Amino acid sequence: MASKEQIESLLAPFLEEGKYFIVDIQIKASRASQKLMILLDSDEGITIQECADISRNLDEALEAFGEAYTLEVSSPGLDQPLRLPRQYQKNVGRNLKVTLATGQTLTGTLVEVKEGSIVLQLPAPRKKPKTPAEESALRPEIELESIVKAVVQVSFK
C-alpha cells in the first residue's frame, strides 16, 4: 500500500489549488485488505458530493498500486479534534473545549487565531473582575503547540 506521503502526492491534483486541505490520513491494515481513511476540509466546509468526487479520482490513481483496499474520504465530524491552524480559523466564534499539555482544560469562545496561537474568551465569573489583570485572564492566548486536544462544542440553543 502507498505511504501517507504518496497518498498526499496523489491527492494534490484533486484539492483544487488549496481550496481543500488534508486534515488526516490513516492507513489501517487487516488480513484481507487495508482501510485508507482520508479526512478533508475546506474553509467553507466540504460537501458529500465533493468528497465522493475526490474519492472517485483518488480511487483511480490508487489502482496503480494493485493492492486490495477500502477507501473512505470524508470531512472531520463534529467530534473530531481540531488539528490544523486552518481549522481553528474556520471555527472563530464557536465554543471550544481545549485540553492543554499541563492537563488544564479551558472552555470558551474562540475569538482570534494568530500565528502559532489562539485566543479564547472564557466565560465571565459571577463576580465581576476588579482589575485589568483579572479581566485579561478571561482572554488567554494559547500556543498551538501546548494544545493536546481542541474540540468544537456543539450548542443546540
Domain ranges of the chain: 4-74, 85-152
Domain 4-74 CATH (choose: 1.25.40.340, 3.40.50.720, 3.30.300.70, 3.30.450.20): 3.30.300.70
Per-residue confidence band for 1, with pLDDT thresholds at 50, 70 and 90 = low
Give mean pLDDT, residues 3-14.
90
Instruction: Check residue 134 and give its pLDDT.
Output: 64
- Residue 54: Cβ within 10 Å count: 19
Predicted model pTM: 0.81
Per-residue confidence band for 135, with pLDDT thresholds at 50, 70 and 90 = low
Per-residue confidence band for 69, with pLDDT thresholds at 50, 70 and 90 = confident
Task: Provide the phi-psi class of 31: left if phi over 0, else alpha when psi is between -120 and 50, else beta.
Answer: alpha
Q: What is the bridge-based pairing of β-strands 34-42 and 69-74?
A: parallel
Write out pLDDT tens, residues 19-49: 999 999 999 987 778 899 999 999 998 999 9
85-152 sits in which CATH class? mainly beta
Backbone angles phi, psi at 104, to 5 degrees: -70, 140
Nine-digit cell string for 32: 484481507
Compute the distance between CA of residue 42 and CA of residue 50 in angstroms, rounded to an integer.
11
